[in-house]
Structure 1
Amino acid sequence: MVAVAEAAVTTTMTTTGGRYALLMAAHDSEYVLNKYGGYLHVFVAAFGDAGETWDLYRAIDSELPGPGELEAYDGFVISGSPHDAYADELWILRLCLLVRALHGMRKRVLGVCFGHQVICRALGGRVGKARAGWDVGVREVAIAEAPPRRFLDALRERDQLPLRARITEVHQDEVWEVPEGAEVLASSDKTGVEMFCVGEHVLGIQGHPEYTKDIFLSLVDRLLAAGSITIPFAEAVNRQLETTAPDREFWLMLCKSFLKAREE
């Protein structure tokens, strides 16, 4: 089984697999907490494999691994968030500093939605409000013909790297300009940078590979209740989901291929 630990409680667990840290940039929603026990379990179910340890750091509450702990991890995942990656809240600035440190160590870092954006900002790119407004629903993205990357080549060899793939989107911010040395790996008709990488060790994905349909619908309901989207907008999203589904298995394979790739 996958060993799951909340870093603020305990991280002492013995396994034979890798060790990963989830840096949570949001608080658990009531729905996810009640049904899944928190987002940690959602991410582990999506990206985890048998024999691994996954530790939780609540970055939004300024919980981050210390400098002496970083070397112990094989990879880091930064979650989505209702906050703006370009804001100057102290916890966001500290997260940016950590991303730079991990980049300098060539540690694997996967960013999802807000995580994708905060990695971009931390490494010198530009992030801001999405010029086309809210993107909520299932969107098809075009996969670029990227240069060789081990985590992509593993999928190419199995003929599992499509030219286009659908992904769940919930964002009103976006990457405007990727950092120097980064490569854009996917784009869509609404978002120019749906995915980017820096070498073999940094990957940002604008969509949400980890979301199940029920988690996504719960979030749409919360956005509607908060007044962030209108009733007609929410109804259109629900109608789309009746006939369209994300290519979730592909995105999960991609994320696992990235996180579990080993340096030569």
Structure 2
Amino acid sequence: MGIEGKYKRRYALLLAARDSEYVKKMYGGYFNVFVGAFGEEEEVERWDLYRVVDGQFPDMNELRDYDGFIVSGSPYDAYGDDNWILELCFLLQTLYSMQKKVLGICFGHQVLCRALGGRVGKSQSGWDIGLRKVKIVKDFSHCSFLERLAEMPQALSIIECHQDEVYEVPMGAEVIAFSDKTGVEMFVIADHILGIQGHPEYSTDILNNLIDRLLNQDAIEIGLAEDARSKLEIAEPDRKCWQEICKAFLKGFWNPCPAEHETMNM
């Protein structure tokens, strides 16, 4: 795929999950969810989709044409040895060596950590589903993206849905957010690698549908589902702030988060 001259920026979504029936019906697929959350007008950006879960990867000769990559969440284990996961790890190592911007979300956060030398595995405290307050670390080292994070509130609520977590970040990485449940909610390497354990792209309806599917699969207990739903009824995730964080990382421009961001005690 050759880049067209009218586009100023080009991004790729490395989709590590298959579209649910709900997301296909309501949004046209996860690709539209991500572009809706992090994209701009078509006149200034081009977004490409690669379904890595089905073995579809970008041409290695075209990687240089991209300004950034996003690795999505997935029902698969980031520490698994499926062929596509191993190929994804190699791709992420390549992008790291090229100093390309890579944003990893949930599974993407974990597999990015694994690919670059960190450790991931099953959470000892079990599933984390629903809204979670994430605390932003303020005393991080100098770098342009992190300077923008200094303008953030000290804590933000985000949608979580995971049973795996990062045990140890790669060498040279900094943990820049944590929660009462998970020690590594965000990590960075310089200004070109960012991992986020939660889902800044999710809306509450997507999570509610995901909870339904997990219940139908007997993957979670009904008490956990009811607790997650009850929290969604009284508070909202700070989606606007999270989207601005991701945009600032991917694109280098920054719009301050609204002062009326939600806060939660969890």
TM-score (norm 1): 0.92
Q: How far off is 1:135 after superposition?
A: 0.2
1:88 aligns with 2:63: no
Unaligned stretches of 5+ in structure 2? 254-266
Aligned counterpart, 1:189: 180
CA–CA distance in structure 2, aligned partners of residues 133 and 208 of structure 1? 18
Q: CA deviation at 1:150?
A: 1.5
Q: Give the superposition deviation at 1:102.
A: 0.2
1:104 paired residue number: 97
- The amino acid of 2:28's aligned partner reads G
**SS at the partner of 2:124?**
coil
Residue in 1 aligned with 2:50? 57
Match of 1:78 among 52, 71, 79: 71
Q: Which amino acid aligns with 2:13?
A: L
Q: TM-score, normalised by structure 2?
A: 0.91
Structure 1: how far apart are the matches of 2:214 and 2:2? 34
Match of residue 145, structure 2, among 128, 140, 151 = 151
Q: How far apart are the structure 2 equivalents of 1:118 and 1:171?
A: 13
Distance, in Å, in 2 between the alignment partners of 1:42 and 1:14 is 26
> Equivalent residue for 1:243?
234
| Bigger Cα displacement from structure 2, 57-66 vs 70-79 | 57-66
Contact 2:118 2:168 (C-alpha < 8 Å) held by counterparts: yes
**Is 1:66–2:27 an aligned residue pair?**
no
2:200 aligned with 1:209: yes
Distance (Å, rounded) in 1 between the aligned partners of 2:206 and 2:66: 28
CA contact (8 A) 1:152 1:254 kept: no
Percent identity (aligned): 56
1:60-82 per-position Cα deviation (integer Å, ceiling 9, x unaligned) = 01111121010000000000000
Residue pair 1:21, 1:57 contacting (<8 A) in 2 also: yes
1:197-243 Cα shifts (integer Å, max 9, x gaps): 01110000000000011111111111111111122221111111111
Q: Offset at 1:14?
A: 5.0
CA distance in 1, matches of 2:105, 2:32: 16
CA distance in 1 between counterparts of 2:6 and 2:141 reads 35
Looking at structure 2, the residues matched to 69 and 11 of structure 1 have their Cα atoms a distance apart, in angstroms, of 8
How many equivalent pairs are there?
A: 250
The runs of 5 or more residues in structure 1 that have no matched partner are 1-9
Residue among 41, 48, 63 paired with 2:39: 48
- Give me the whole-angstrom Cα distance separating, in 1, the residues matched to 2:179 and 2:109: 15
Asked if 2 retains the 8 angstrom alpha-carbon contact of 1:167 and 1:246, the reply is yes
Counterpart code for 2:11: Y
For residues 131 and 149 of structure 2, the distance between their equivalents in structure 1, rounded to whole angstroms, comes to 22
Q: Distance in 2 between matches of 1:127 and 1:15?
A: 41
Q: Which residue of the partner structure matches residue 3 of structure 1? A: none
| CA 1:96–1:242: 2 relative to 1, 3 Å | same
Q: 1:11 to 1:136 in 2, by over 3 A?
A: farther
Measured against aligned partners, the alpha-carbon deviations of 1:121-175 in whole angstroms (never above 9, x if no partner) come to 000000000111000010001101222332232354xx4x111111100000000
Contact 1:15/1:53 (CA < 8 Å) preserved in 2? Answer: no
Tell whether the 8 Å contact from 1:59 to 1:95 is kept in structure 2 after alignment.
Answer: yes
TM-superposed deviation, 1:11: 6.4
RMSD of equivalent CA atoms: 1.3
